[in-house]
Structures are given as C-alpha cells and as structure tokens.
Amino acid sequence: MKQYTTPKQTAKLIELGFEPETKIKGVRTVHSKVKIDYVWNFTIGELIDMLGVHLSSIYYIGIEWFVNAEGLECRREELVDALYYTIVCLKEGGVI
C-alpha cells in the first residue's frame, strides 16, 4: 500500500497552496561536507488532516478505497490516491 503522494501529485498540491512537511530522507558526506537529503511529499495522515471537517468517511471494499467528503465519493485502489483526488476536486471547486 502506498503511503505517500507521488512527485506529480505533490507538485499539484503545492500548486494548489498546500505545503508538505519537510522530512529528512538521509544524511551523507559529500566532498567532506554533510549533505542532508529531504523528502517533499504528503503522507496519508497529512491528506486526511487537509480534508478535516469536510471528510465524511473512509472505507475499504474488495480492492478499492472509498473516500466521502462534502457529497463527493472518490474510489481508488490506493488510499493515498483516493484522498489526493478528493482534495484536488474540493480545492478546485472552492470547498476547501
């Protein structure tokens, strides 16, 4: 099960005004200097938080996740994808 948005999904959410938490992916040494690699994406929990009070329910049937928010039902094989599409639809519709 995917737990994070893809780079394309992350870019779209940033374009819509959402900011991901900065997460450290790793620390390494490059040419005698410390380099910190960051991850820029959204987790399932962050997506649920974005929906907040607009979220009605999340459930799983068979092979699909269903996300209901503000009368909109979105279903996808991956929960993170269903949450993402719900957020985009509600944000572009001016609901959130």
Torsion from C-alpha of 74, 80, 86, 90, nearest 10 degrees: 180
Residue pLDDT, tens place only, 78-89: 999 999 999 999
Secondary structure element (H or E) that encloses residue 32, with its range: none
pTM, rounded to two decimals: 0.85
How many whole angstroms separate alpha carbon 92 and alpha carbon 30?
A: 42
| Percent helix / strand / coil, the chain, rounded to 5 | 35, 35, 30
4, containing H or E segment:
none
**Tens of pLDDT along 12-52?**
999 999 988 877 778 888 888 888 877 789 999 999 999 99
